[in-house]
Structures are given as C-alpha cells and as structure tokens.
C-alpha cells in the first residue's frame, strides 16, 4: 500500500502544476460467442453473451512532460462468473525528461516482434479469460525508468506485486476438465504474490535492424499445476508460481516488403531450464490484382527445447498466416492463420476480421478451432471448443 501512497503523492504534486483539460475515450462492446460442438463438461453452455466497457482517462500537464492515464476495464459475461471480471489496465503516472522517462503505477508494456506467440513479452500477466491467445494483459504494478541515449534505450523495471493469471470458471468454455482454484494459488517465493520482480530491456534501431535484449527475474507468469481439493471437497487444479529468470532476444529486419523476425529466450527455473524461439518472415504483396488490397503472408517456426514436455502447446510447430488489408474507408482487415504441430496432426486455426461501421462503430469477428488433437496434446481438453465470436463495439 505504501507504493500507492507514493503514487497519490505524485498525483498531488501534479495537481499543483498547471492543469490542462483531461479527456475520456474508450469503447463499449457487445460480444456473442457460439460454440459449434456440445460442451464436454457439466455446466458449460453452447453460447454466451458478454458486455465489456473499456474507458480511458488521460490528462497531461506542461505539454506532456507529466501525464496520468487511467483505464479500468470491466466485463460482464452471461455464463462464466470468472470471465465476468474487472481490472485496472492502467493507472500510470509518467514524467518525461530530456533523455529519460519515468513511469509509476499500474501499466502494460509489450516486448517482441513475432505474431504467432510472444515469448519475450514477460512483464504483464495474460488475462486468459478474455482470449486464449494471451494477448489481453492485466495491469502490472511497476516503476519503469527509461534511459534514452545514443547507444539505445534502456528500460529498468521494478515490479512490486504479482498478478495471477485468470482462468475460466465452471460454466466457462475453453477450460481444463478440472477447475483452476485461484484462491489456493501457491508460490515458490516466501513473499508469495508480494515478491518484487526486476526486469530490464535494451533496445536499439540500426538502420533496417531493430534489436532488443531483455532480462527478467521473478515470479513466473505461467503457473504449474498441482492437484488438490476446493473447500467443498471437489478435485481442482492449484496454480503454483515458480521463481524464474529469463533472458530474451528479439530482432526484426525490415527490408522493402520483407519483415524477418526472431524471438529467442533462455528460461531457468526449478522445474525446467530450456530454450524457446520463434523465427519467421512476413512478406507483403501490395495492391494485389490491381486492387487496393494488400496481402501479407506470414510463416513462423515455433520451437521449444523441452519437446513433448513443454508447458506450451508449441514445441515444434509451424504457423502459416495471411493478412489482408483492404485500405478502404472502413479499414477492413482480415488475419487468418493456422499453427500446425510438425510431430502430430494437431492444428490450431484462427480467423480474425474487423471493419469500421459508420464513424464510431467497429464490427469484428473471430473464429477459433482445433483439429487432429491427440489425447496427449495440451489443447486436447479444448477439442469441443471451436467457436465463432462476433463483437460490435461503440467507440467514444
């Protein structure tokens, strides 16, 4: 709580400086999900509706030298109590100096370059109930000093406090046979979820090359599971968060229509020491067949040295994807991809499309599915969870 006291003090200092008008923006989204197959587990439903609200308040002082961003997030889901949740995505105070920036509060940041998975991106916890792709993140308590120098940008991070991963509840789809009981979460560190993690990242652009090197030491974002029982005696999975260190490298080469990407990590924890990497290319064909449509072709190879023992489903997999941008007034876009396991016939398919409607509405659709899942596949419990999702959002 002392941390939030410091934050409050910073806001009060800010309040005594010249005040410029703050502004609100954000969206309200109405989402419907339809699952193609009958549910596997008792209590699950065939379809669900969900309402999400994502406002953002931004205020700056002294022409942006100081600023405050507050973006809460709320979702109300018709079937899954765990998916109905609220979070503070950002409550971030920013100070900008000549060659440094200081951020404090709850924030989000993204590290990395690849599309199929984000190995290097370690700071924020995944808000898994939002989407199984893990791209939606929870706000992380952080103090971040950025030094911007000729030799690159160095980000130093102190991460006081840990955010637990979210998991679907009993009525939720896209879950394991046993429920994850987050109330019983266990930690390797005696400090539990109060462990202070540290991270750093160096980033530099060299002409066509963008290079990042990162390090992290602290509580693993992905838990291991142990078997246990909940308060009513039902068998459950109990998340166990290890201490870990991770070194990461991310590189992108941008040349004409080509993007070449690499992310590689070295992970060390009590349970495993391993390397993982994603490497690939994206090539864009512009104005295909005389139209305004651009088509990008993405190929990425996903590797994990643990092989079949990996705690992620991607250890020797190939992602192939197509990205279409219509370059029209509605900014219509489509991304279709399939990740194929090169050792089995398992495939994960994804199809995302969006288009603006009028000036402030956005309609998006998503299709996710799995095929050829074997009984030992990590996605096997989701074999009946192919789904179609449609969302209509009003931006303000």
Residues that bind other proteins (CB under 8 A): 25, 27, 58, 60, 64, 67, 94, 96, 98-99, 101, 108-110, 113, 135, 137, 146, 148, 153, 203, 205, 207-208, 210, 252, 254-259, 284, 286-287, 292, 294, 327-331, 356, 359-360, 362, 393, 395-396
Tell me the closest approach of the beta carbon of residue 213 to other proteins, in angstroms: 14
**In the structure encoding, which two tokens stand for residue 101, read together?**
């920036």
Of 12 and 329, which CB lies nearer to other proteins in the complex structure?
Answer: 329
Tell me the closest approach of the beta carbon of residue 146 to other proteins, in angstroms: 6
Q: How far is CA 95 from the centre of its chain?
A: 25
66 contacts 18 by C-beta, under 8 angstroms: no
**In the structure encoding, which two tokens stand for residue 72, read together?**
């809460």
Tell me the closest approach of the beta carbon of residue 110 to other proteins, in angstroms: 4
306 contacts 318 by C-beta, under 8 angstroms: no
264 contacts 277 by C-beta, under 8 angstroms: yes
Alpha-carbon distance of 189 to 262, in angstroms, equals 32
Tell me the closest approach of the beta carbon of residue 39 to other proteins, in angstroms: 30
3-state DSSP assignment of residue 36: coil
Tell me the closest approach of the beta carbon of residue 316 to other proteins, in angstroms: 27
Of 212 and 223, which CB lies nearer to other proteins in the complex structure?
Answer: 212
User: β-strands 347-357, 333-341: how paired?
Assistant: antiparallel
Of 103 and 383, which CB lies nearer to other proteins in the complex structure?
Answer: 103
- Closest by CA position to 35, among listed 395, 391, 383, 301: 383
Phi, psi at 309, each rounded to 5°: -90, 5
Of 67 and 340, which CB lies nearer to other proteins in the complex structure?
Answer: 67
Which residues touch 108 (CB under 8 Å, ≥6 apart)? 89, 90, 123, 124, 137, 139, 140
Of 205 and 371, which CB lies nearer to other proteins in the complex structure?
Answer: 205
Of 131 and 242, which CB lies nearer to other proteins in the complex structure?
Answer: 131
**In the structure encoding, which two tokens stand for residue 193, read together?**
């979820």
Tell me the closest approach of the beta carbon of residue 335 to other proteins, in angstroms: 13
Tell me the closest approach of the beta carbon of residue 327 to other proteins, in angstroms: 4
- Closest by CA position to 158, among listed 180, 179, 140: 140
Tell me the closest approach of the beta carbon of residue 370 to other proteins, in angstroms: 24
99 contacts 147 by C-beta, under 8 angstroms: yes
Q: How far is CA 129 from the centre of its chain?
A: 11
Of 38 and 256, which CB lies nearer to other proteins in the complex structure?
Answer: 256
Of 58 and 240, which CB lies nearer to other proteins in the complex structure?
Answer: 58
Of 35 and 73, which CB lies nearer to other proteins in the complex structure?
Answer: 73
Q: In what order do the strands lie in the sheet with 186-187?
A: 186-187, 235-241, 224-229
DSSP lists the bridge partners of residue 94 as: 67, 103
Which one-letter DSSP state was computed for residue 286? -
Tell me the closest approach of the beta carbon of residue 153 to other proteins, in angstroms: 6
**In the structure encoding, which two tokens stand for residue 370, read together?**
């799995």
Which residues touch 142 (CB under 8 Å, ≥6 apart)? 103, 104, 105, 106, 107, 123, 157, 158, 159, 160
């Amino acid at each position: 709580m002392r941390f939030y006291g410091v934050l409050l003090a910073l806001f009060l200092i800010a309040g005594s400086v010249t005040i410029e008008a703050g502004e609100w923006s954000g969206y309200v989204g109405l989402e419907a999900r339809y699952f193609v197959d009958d549910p596997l587990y008792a209590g699950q439903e065939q379809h669900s509706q969900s309402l999400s609200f994502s406002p953002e308040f931004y205020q700056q002082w002294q022409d942006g030298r100081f600023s405050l961003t507050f973006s809460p997030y709320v979702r109300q889901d018709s079937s899954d109590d765990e998916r109905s949740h609220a979070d503070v995505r950002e409550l971030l105070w920013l100070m900008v100096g000549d060659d440094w920036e200081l951020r404090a509060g709850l924030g989000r940041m993204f590290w990395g370059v690849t599309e199929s998975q984000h190995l290097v991106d370690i700071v924020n916890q995944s808000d898994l109930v939002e989407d199984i792709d893990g791209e939606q993140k929870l706000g992380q308590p952080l103090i971040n000093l950025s030094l911007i120098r000729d030799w690159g940008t160095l980000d130093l991070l102190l991460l006081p406090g840990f955010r637990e991963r979210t998991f679907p509840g009993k009525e939720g789809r896209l879950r394991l046979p046993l429920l994850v009981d987050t109330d019983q979460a266990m930690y390797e560190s005696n400090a539990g979820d109060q462990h202070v993690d540290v991270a750093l990242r160096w980033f530099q652009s060299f002409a066509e090359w963008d290079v990042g090197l990162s390090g992290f030491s602290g509580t693993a974002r992905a838990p291991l599971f142990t078997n246990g029982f909940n308060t009513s005696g039902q068998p459950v999975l109990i998340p166990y968060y290890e201490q870990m260190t991770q070194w990461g490298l991310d590189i992108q080469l941008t040349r004409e229509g080509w993007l070449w990407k690499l992310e590689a990590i070295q992970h060390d924890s009590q349970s495993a020491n391993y390397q993982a990497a994603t490497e690939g290319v994206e090539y864009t064909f512009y104005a295909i067949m005389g139209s305004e449509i651009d088509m990008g072709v993405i190929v990425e190879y996903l590797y994990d040295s643990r092989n079949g023992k990996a705690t992620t489903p991607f250890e020797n997999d190939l992602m192939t994807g197509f990205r279409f941008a219509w370059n029209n007034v509605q900014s219509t876009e489509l991304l279709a991809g399939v990740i194929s396991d090169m050792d089995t016939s398992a495939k994960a398919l994804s199809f995302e499309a969006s288009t603006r409607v009028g000036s402030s509405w956005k309609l998006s659709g998503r299709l996710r599915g799995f095929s050829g899942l074997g009984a030992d596949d990590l996605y096997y419990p989701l074999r009946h969870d192919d789904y179609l999702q449609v969302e209509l959002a009003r931006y303000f």
